[in-house]
Amino acid sequence: MLKTIAQILSILFLLISLSGCIAASIVSGAVDITTTAVGGAIDVVDAVTPDILDDDDEEDEKEESDEEKQ
C-alpha cells in the first residue's frame, strides 16, 4: 500500500514538473510562429506598397539641387 502511494506521488510530481516545460515549449513555439507570420506580412507589405518616404526624399534632394544651381 505504501509503495503504491509513493509511486502515485512520484508520477504526480513528475507530471506537474513536466507541465511547466510543456507550457514553455508551447509558448515558445507560438511566439516563433507569430514572429514568422508577422515578418512575412511585413515583407509582403514592403513589396506591394511603393516607398513613399524614399520617393519624397529623392524629390526633396532634386529640388534642393535645382535651387542651388539657380
pLDDT tens, position by position, 19-53: 777 788 888 988 888 888 888 888 877 777 766 65
Q: Residue 30 in 3-state DSSP?
A: helix
Mean pLDDT of the residues in the chain: 77
Mean pLDDT, residues 5-21 taken together: 84
pLDDT, position 68: 60
**What domain count does the chain have?**
1
The grid coordinates listed for 36 are 514568422
The grid coordinates listed for 50 are 511603393
Domain that holds residue 48: 2-69
